Structure 1
Amino acid sequence: MADLSPTLPDDADVALRIRGLVTGFGDKLIHDGLDLDVARGEIMGVVGGSGSGKSVLMRAIIGLQPSRAGTIAVFGQDALDPDPAAQRALRRKWGVLFQEGALFSGLTVAENIEMPMREYLDLPDPVLAGLAAARLRLVGLLADAGPKFPSELSGGMKKRAGLARALALDPPLLFLDEPTAGLDPISAAGFDDLIKVLKETLGLTLFLITHDLDTLMAICDRVAVLGDGRVLACGTVEQLRAYDHPWVQDYFAGARGRAAGTAPIKASAA
């Protein structure tokens, strides 16, 4: 029987290690003792039903959502360390692509990409402009996208521009929140291919929230399924299709899962 535990051995090469995480809003708990490990160099997909706390989990890791209990370590460093200097140093190690790109509307694409560099690097403007142009090329955008404002971009271009900004400081870890949401199938497949190429060429670790079954099957090494305040199971898509849990079965082996290229597999006891 496959091991679908969300944790890895203590001696594993882990980029992200979460233990006993508790989050919530008022009297409502979102996560209650959640554990999860993301290995260095893997693409971890994160799925779950509405209200399961996918985005809250990402926001807790990057410090935008307070945690009530538990530990989070990123490359061995305490992500919950209250020391401002430690937090600033750790934030350089990750980039974030929020849903819809979250670009600043009053800045050009190039200026959006330059923002993290201006925050952390003391470089002259011509060098920053050259680095921003390089990030645009990295994500498959032409140089003429740089002087445009976000409102002048298509949905797919906004996603790529947001990804370019997430890569501004060459972080080893990327957080992607619904990166293919709202894209047509061809654009979504192209974005999946881009993510996979970037992961392989740059040696990235990715934490990827998505509802897109095609994305899960095309690029994710493992998938963590959130539910009941914790990670219900974590494994490959094939392993999860055989996992004996109603929501997991409906998601991965139901009609939509089959339409995305799967076929039903008889569930086995977890």
Structure 2
Amino acid sequence: MAGKSTDEPIVRVRGLRNAFGDAVIHDRLDLDVRRGEILGVVGGSGTGKSVLMRSIIGLQAPQAGEITVFGKPTIGREEGEMAEISKRWGVLFQGGALFSTLTVAENVQVPLREFYPALDQALLDQISSFKVVMTGLPADAGPKYPAELSGGMKKRAGLARALALDPDLLFLDEPTAGLDPIGAAAFDELTRSLQRTLGLTVFLITHDLDTLHAICDRVAVLADRRVIAIGTIDELLATDHPWIAEYFKGPRGRAAVATKDLARARTNS
């Protein structure tokens, strides 16, 4: 499991409502993300996992509800006030969301230039080089463009950019989607290592059962327009909601458990 967490919420969501026209995505959604944990967020298609993340980071204006991050409300804040909060988190969007016309190093430098425009180029280059290597990319990846990278390398480059400002809170949206099992497992291990080393809190949207079993302290389940359950996987397995049972106890869920048990047995042998 990931590093030790506390019960202190770093993100607090209460009564969240998101709707697009007549389509209600969230209604009276509550969620706490504890400081120092890796929280997995799962749910079926259309349950609004990414919309929830976008609401927390201020890219989606909800119709109702309250959101606090680092103890400060984020809904309706002035741009300058929001900037002071947002520089304490990093975001890895699906696919990496890199700027195609910028090199990897230049992509990593984007948030640094935004928040610290006085930094000279030599320091920017030094910081970006460190972040690139930190995420497991080769040192010569910095001058390359996204089109020259594999899918897994793009994810790591996006992660390097998300870590550029040394955030306390990291948002990961389907970080292992599209990766082969070996690449996905390596990214999971990287996430867990960085979380422990840097003391990060991680909000991780995923459908990957192996990821949930390997690195998540708790899992929040979105269904019926809200968080219907949150807890460890063992705690979720004790609930009687049909979607949770189908998700975690179906063939793929059983395979993920078997893989986890095998890995534990090898570690203990």
Q: TM over 0.5, yes or no?
A: yes
1:12, distance to aligned residue in structure 2 (A): 4.0
1:46 alignment counterpart: 41
Shift in Å, 1:239: 1.2
User: Any conservation in 2 of the 1:221–1:236 contact (CA below 8 Å)?
Assistant: yes
Match for residue 85 of structure 1 among 80, 84, 98: 80
Residue 16 of structure 1 aligns with which residue?
11
Contact 1:114/1:165 (CA < 8 Å) preserved in 2? yes
**What CA RMSD, in Å, does the superposition of the two structures yield over aligned residues?**
1.2
Counterpart check, 1:166 vs 2:162? yes
> Does the alignment pair 1:242 with 2:238?
yes
The answer to whether 1:206 aligns with 2:202 is: yes
Determine helix, strand or coil for the equivalent of 1:225.
strand
Residue 67 (structure 1) aligned with residue 62 (structure 2): yes
Question: Unpaired runs of 5+ in structure 2?
Answer: 1-5, 260-269
When the two structures are aligned, how many residues end up with a matched partner? Answer: 253
In 2, the alpha carbon distance for the partners of 1:12 and 1:39 equals: 5
The C-alpha deviation readout for 1:158-193, integer Å capped at 9, x for no partner, is 000000000000010000000000000001000000
Matched, 1:260 2:256: yes
Distance 1:220 1:36 in 2: 16
Separation of aligned partners in 2, 1:23 and 1:153: 36
Match of 1:195 in 2: 191
2:257 alignment partner, SS class: coil
Q: Percent identity?
A: 63
Within the alignment, does 1:26 sit opposite 2:21 as a pair?
yes
* Cα distance between partner residues in 1 of 2:165 and 2:203: 17
**Are 1:37 and 2:41 an aligned pair?**
no
Calculate the TM-score normalised by the size of structure 1: 0.92
Deviations 1:112-142 (A, max 9, x none): 0000000011210000000000001110111
Is the Cα–Cα contact under 8 Å of residues 133 and 143 in structure 1 kept in the other structure? yes
Letter of the 1:132 counterpart: S
Counterparts of 2:257 and 2:56, CA distance in 1? 32
Q: Which residue of 1 aligns with 2:212?
A: 216
Contact 2:105 2:128 in 1 (8 A): yes
Where structure 1 has 5 or more consecutive residues not aligned to the other structure, the ranges are 1-10, 264-270
CA distance in 2 between partners of 1:86 and 1:253 (Å)? 45
Q: 1:140 aligns with which of 136, 139, 143?
A: 136
Once the two structures are TM-superposed, the CA of residue 238 in structure 1 deviates from its matched residue by 1.3
Q: Is the 8 A contact 2:61 2:75 kept in 1?
A: no
Work out the CA distance in 1 between the residues paired with 2:77 and 2:203: 23
Tell me which residue corresponds to 1:107.
Answer: 102
The alignment's TM-score, normalised by the length of structure 2, stands at 0.92
Instruction: Encode CA deviations 1:47-105: one digit per residue, 9 max, x unaligned.
Output: 00110010010011111111111000001011113211111111101100001000000
Tell me, in whole angstroms, the C-alpha distance in 2 between the residues paired with 1:175 and 1:85: 21
Counterpart in the other structure of 2:3: none
CA contact (8 A) 2:146 2:154 kept: yes
Give the counterpart letter for 1:89 in structure 2: E
SS in 2 for 1:55: helix
Distance in structure 2 (CA, Å) of the matches to 1:66 and 1:29: 14
2:124 alignment counterpart: 128
Does the 8 A contact of 1:253 with 1:262 survive in 2? no
Question: 1:214 is matched by which residue type in structure 2?
Answer: D
Q: Kindly indicate which of the two structures has a greater share of residues assigned to helix.
A: 2
